[in-house]
């Protein structure tokens, strides 16, 4: 530790801390252009110069390490003159086009000029110009599908280039030329087209880099920034929605170091157009004579309530079924399952519509092992070896992919095992390409190799003799020749993997969609836990098996009980004591017989046992592996009601369609892959005549004679906390900016 004085205030920080970071601890602002705390310090802009006692010249605060007894001054006449000089030099060639520059209103150069600069210029010569088109006044150059560069505005902080190389692990942007002719550019025919390209626009301190989707659309001071959560994968990145007149104009990061570290993938940054898409459903639709006709809410709700009541009276409660969605908020999914158990009187409710092979519903004790991640996102880069199985991280979890890349670039081992090569293999120590469906054989084969090769570390492995014998017996049939033939991976690669994973200090396993939807998913997960125990990596920091659920609220939907045999918090419906407790909170009876999962629901529809279905937020026709099978089933229903923001393939089959709201039009919470619960922010009211999904459920329940009188998602969440053991000790107020 080192104690120093900055502007008369003492602060103690760790050795290796820079003056800039020490000043931040004291809330002393030192201006910068080139600095970003997730990038290597470059000290090129010189804007952060400070005066250090006993040093003969000013020092760059971003690159100067503290020492014991150091005395720093950040606001002396010499420092202010230096900053003023830096700004004057930058303006020698920088165009004074703030009124037309798209960065106006949030430009760091503009802001610092107001604080330190002069309103007069001593420069009378002609400004340097990087000419792209002699006929154009602005010299804009498209360097990527979304990225526009104007080199005349660039101050050569190189944050964009450093981000591309240090964080994104790419090389599609660089610095060319020297001195006054230096420019940021791309190689011919190689545009900035990596999955994280939009971050260079956000970290650019001036208007040198802008995005096609936002530039010249609206002035930033005319917009409202609403904090929210990206809904496009399970990582749970924090975002700001910039809106005006009920329209999203752009999405930027809202830094949360527990999750995203302030970076977004391009899908999350530019994939918001669906919110204001012209094909959004804007009012209820009722099908008459095979055609949808617009209706008002009162007519639509009364019709749906009447159909459900009639079906229940004539065919019984178990002739009804509900399908929720991992795209809805926790509050909406909680209400949805409560609606079916209390109002409809059945446990026929599920949301898992994308697989024929479902993981069994976990118990309260097993939930953390089967349905969640063992480790936090923050721990990923601490693991000495990361093993990715059945997951293309870039496609499924792009921000977790960044964490894995960072770990590999820092020297930690990365081993991939997939059915085909992925883009992450550039950073991997080894990549195992196996035959589809042979995952279990591969895992057991490696375990056998560890036992056979006597690679066990007796100091780390805590298996009893009986446990070891049981495991040895389990993997005995998986000899190297058989495993190699089944997986199509060479015996040498399997042996090398066994040797590497045994020697690793810590091992973290990441499993994706391929494992979650695998026919042998339960067996694979069990074998992976055996694998950790065998190598001595169980119950250690930065070690564990992590299931990376795909959708934005997959884990939250499970936690909230949209399952046929589990109430919120994984309470089994047959657990009388816990069920009675929930009944007391709900003031209603709950069926004790487990309902049917989605696969069994489809069978029951084909058998004529399920007569009516309510689908909220899901599109099983498009998501289920066998489209014709699910389509045929839904067409056989006497009544189908779909709640959605678009007229999906499933909605086209419905008798009534109710327009829900997108994530930008409602409050609520999502639970990401590490079980971090984070708040959404309502940027504007639901478009046209659509309504928030939680409100629609309340309307329908009240129309059927039940008192769902919730006024807000906050009120729903507080009841969820009372019901669910997973959500105890939480409150709406406790969910701060980083989530809980």
Tell me how many helices (H) and strands (E) the chain has. Answer: 24, 29
The CATH superfamily of 374-547 is: Dimethylsulfoxide Reductase, domain 2 (3.40.228.10)
The architecture of the domain spanning 123-276 is 2-Layer Sandwich (3.30)
pLDDT score, position 292 = 98
φ and ψ at residue 487, rounded to 5 degrees: -90, -20
Q: Is 545 helix (H, G, I), strand (E, B) or coil?
A: strand
Q: How far apart are CA 676 and CA 669, in angstroms?
A: 10
Per mean pLDDT, which range of 117-131, 167-181, 284-298 is the poorest? 117-131
Sorted by sequence, the CB contacts under 8 Å of residue 485 that are 6+ apart come out as none
Each residue's pLDDT tens digit, 123-158 = 888 888 898 888 877 899 999 999 999 999 999 999
Q: Two tokens at 296?
A: 């008002």
Domain 2-90 of CATH type 3.30.56.10: no
Tell me the mean pLDDT in the region 358-382.
79
pLDDT score, position 623 = 96
| Cα end-to-end distance, the chain, whole Å | 31
DSSP code string of 620-659: HHHHSS-HHHHHHHHHH-SEEEEEESS--TTGGG-SEEEE
Domain 285-358+555-562+596-734, CATH class in plain words? alpha beta
For the chain, what percent of residues have pLDDT higher than 90? 84
Kindly list the domain boundaries of the chain, sorted by start residue.
Answer: 2-90, 123-276, 285-358+555-562+596-734, 374-547
pLDDT score, position 369 = 57
Of residues 524 and 537, which shows the higher confidence score?
524
> Of 211, 220, 24, 18, which is closest to residue 110 (Cα–Cα)?
220
Ranges assigned E (strand) in 136-258: 141-142, 147-149, 174-176, 183-185, 209-211, 224-229, 238-243, 248-253
> Of 318, 331, 104, 323, which is closest to residue 221 (Cα–Cα)?
104
Q: How far apart are CA 115 and CA 661, in angstroms?
A: 44
pLDDT score, position 367 = 52
Write down the mean pLDDT value for the chain: 94
Ranges assigned E (strand) in 282-365: 285-288, 291-294, 320-323, 349-350
Q: Is 344 helix (H, G, I), strand (E, B) or coil?
A: helix
Q: Two tokens at 565?
A: 């045999």
Q: Two tokens at 115?
A: 């604080």
pLDDT score, position 468 = 86
Query: Contact 102/214 with Cβ under 8 angstroms?
Result: yes
Token look-up 């004579």 returns 289
Each residue's pLDDT tens digit, 688-698 = 999 999 999 99
The dihedral built from the CA positions of residue 468, 469, 471 and 472, taken in this order, carries a sign that is positive
Query: Contact 136/142 with Cβ under 8 angstroms?
Result: no
Q: Two tokens at 198?
A: 């939009």
pLDDT score, position 525 = 92
- pLDDT surpassing 80 at residue 366: no
- pLDDT surpassing 60 at residue 462: yes
pLDDT score, position 362 = 79
> Of 18, 19, 16, 10, which is closest to residue 51 (Cα–Cα)?
19
User: How are strands ordered across the β-sheet holding 59-60?
Assistant: 9-13, 2-6, 71-73, 49-52, 59-60
Kind of pairing between the strands at 238-243 and 224-229: antiparallel
Burial class (CB in 10 A: 0-12, 13-18, 19+), 291: exposed
């Amino acid at each position: 530790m080192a104690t120093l004085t900055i502007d008369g205030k003492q602060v103690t920080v760790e050795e290796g801390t820079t003056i800039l970071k020490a000043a931040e601890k004291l809330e002393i602002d030192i201006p910068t252009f080139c600095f970003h705390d997730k990038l290597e310090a470059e000290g090129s802009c010189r804007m952060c110069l400070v005066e250090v006692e006993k040093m003969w010249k000013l020092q760059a605060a971003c690159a100067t390490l503290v020492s014991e007894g150091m005395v720093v001054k950040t606001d002396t006449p010499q420092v202010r003159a230096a900053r003023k000089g830096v700004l004057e030099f930058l303006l020698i060639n920088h165009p004074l086009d703030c009124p037309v520059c798209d960065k106006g209103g949030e430009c760091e150069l503009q802001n610092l000029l107001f604080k330190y600069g002069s309103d007069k210029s001593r420069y009378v010569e002609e400004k340097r110009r990087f000419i792209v088109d002699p006929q154009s006044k602005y010299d804009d150059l498209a360097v990527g599908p979304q990225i526009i560069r104007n080199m005349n505005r660039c101050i050569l902080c190189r944050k964009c280039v450093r981000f591309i190389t240090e964080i994104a692990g790419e090389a599609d942007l660089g610095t060319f030329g020297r001195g006054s002719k230096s420019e940021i550019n791309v190689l011919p025919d190689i545009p900035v087209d990596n999955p994280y390209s939009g971050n260079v626009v956000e970290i650019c301190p001036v208007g040198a880099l802008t995005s096609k989707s936002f530039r010249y659309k609206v002035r930033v001071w005319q917009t409202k920034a609403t904090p929210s959560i990206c809904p496009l994968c399970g990582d749970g990145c924090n975002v700001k929605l910039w809106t005006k007149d009920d329209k999203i104009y752009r999405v930027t990061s809202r830094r949360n170091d527990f999750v995203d570290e302030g970076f977004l993938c391009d899908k999350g940054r530019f994939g918001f157009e669906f919110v204001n898409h012209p094909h959004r459903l804007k009012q209820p639709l009722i099908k008459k004579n095979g055609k949808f006709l617009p209706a008002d809410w009162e007519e639509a709700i009364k019709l749906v309530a009447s159909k459900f009541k009639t079906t229940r009276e004539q065919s019984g409660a178990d002739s009804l079924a509900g399908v929720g969605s991992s795209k809805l908020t926790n509050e909406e999914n909680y209400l949805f399952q409560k609606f079916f158990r209390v109002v409809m009187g059945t446990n026929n409710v599920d949301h898992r519509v994308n697989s024929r092979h479902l993981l069994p519903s976990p118990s309260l004790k097993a939930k953390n092992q089967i349905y969640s991640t063992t480790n936090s996102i923050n721990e990923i880069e601490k693991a000495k070896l990361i093993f990715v199985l059945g997951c293309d991280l870039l496609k499924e979890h792009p921000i977790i992919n960044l964490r894995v890349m960072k770990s590999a670039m820092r020297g930690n081992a990365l081993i991939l095992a997939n059915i085909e090569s992925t883009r992450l293999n550039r950073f991997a120590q080894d990549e195992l390409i196996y035959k589809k469906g042979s995952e279990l054989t591969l895992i057991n084969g490696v375990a056998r190799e560890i036992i056979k090769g006597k690679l066990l570390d007796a100091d780390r492995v805590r298996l009893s003799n009986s446990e070891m014998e049981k495991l040895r017996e389990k993997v005995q049939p998986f000899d190297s020749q058989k495993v190699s033939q089944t997986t199509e991976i060479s015996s040498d690669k399997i042996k090398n993997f066994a040797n590497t994973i045994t020697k690793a200090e810590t091992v973290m396993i990441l499993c994706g969609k391929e494992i979650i939807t695998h026919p042998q998913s339960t067996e694979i997960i069990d074998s992976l836990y055996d694998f950790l125990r065998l190598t001595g990596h169980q119950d250690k920091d930065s070690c564990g098996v992590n299931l990376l659920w795909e959708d934005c609220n997959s884990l939250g939907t499970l936690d909230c009980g949209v399952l046929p045999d589990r109430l919120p918090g994984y309470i089994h419906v047959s657990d009388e004591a816990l069920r009675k407790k929930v009944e007391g909170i709900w003031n209603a009876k709950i069926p004790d017989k487990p309902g049917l999962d989605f696969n069994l629901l489809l069978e029951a529809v084909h058998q004529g046992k399920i007569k009516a279905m309510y689908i909220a937020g899901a599109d099983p026709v498009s998501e289920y592996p066998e489209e014709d099978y699910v389509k045929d089933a839904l067409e056989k229903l006497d009544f189908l009601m779909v709640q959605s923001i678009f007229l999906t393939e499933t909605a086209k089959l419905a008798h009534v369609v109710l327009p829900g709201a997108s994530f930008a039009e409602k409050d609520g919470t999502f639970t990401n892959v590490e079980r971090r619960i984070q708040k959404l922010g309502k940027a504007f009211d639901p478009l046209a005549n659509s309504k928030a999904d939680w409100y629609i459920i309340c309307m329908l329940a009240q129309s059927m004679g039940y008192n769902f009188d919730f006024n807000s998602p906050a009120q729903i969440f507080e009841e969820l906390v009372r019901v669910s053991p997973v959500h105890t000790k939480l409150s709406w107020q406790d969910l701060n900016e980083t989530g809980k």
